[in-house]
Each structure stands twice: as structure tokens, then as C-alpha cells.
Amino acid sequence: MSNLLRDAVEKKKQYLIDKLIALGFYKKDDKHLFEWTLSELEKEYRSLRQ
């Protein structure tokens, strides 16, 4: 079960990273997107979409 959850989180993170890159967002405060948590990615995506 934990592998399924981990895979789902990683897929969601990659989806959000792809969307953020498409919006021209690559990193913030010298921290690249792949280093961010899922929550950080979701928050940034929501803020850019508004």
C-alpha cells in the first residue's frame, strides 16, 4: 500500500512541476521544483493560476 501512495504522490508532484514549468516557473529562492514538497508545489500552482 505504501508503494501505491508513494507512486501517487510522485506522479502528482511531476504533474505540478510540468504545469509550473509550462507557466515559466522553475525555482524560487535557489530551490528547484524537484526539491519541493507536494504541498509547496500545490500552493505555488494555485497562487500562479489566480
What are the residue boundaries of the structural domains of the chain, listed by start? 2-49
pLDDT in tens, 22-35: 999 998 899 999 99
From residue 50, alpha-carbon distances to 3, 10, 12, 14, 29 in Å are 33, 24, 20, 21, 21
**Does pLDDT of 36 surpass 90?**
yes
Percent of the chain past pLDDT 70, that is, above it, reads 98
Report residue 48 as a C-alpha cell.
500562479
The pTM of the full predicted model, rounded to 2 decimals, is 0.88
For all residues of the chain together, what is the average pLDDT?
94
SS3 letters across 1-50: CHHHHHHHHHHHHHHHHHHHHHCCCCEECCEEHHHCCHHHHHHHHHHHHC
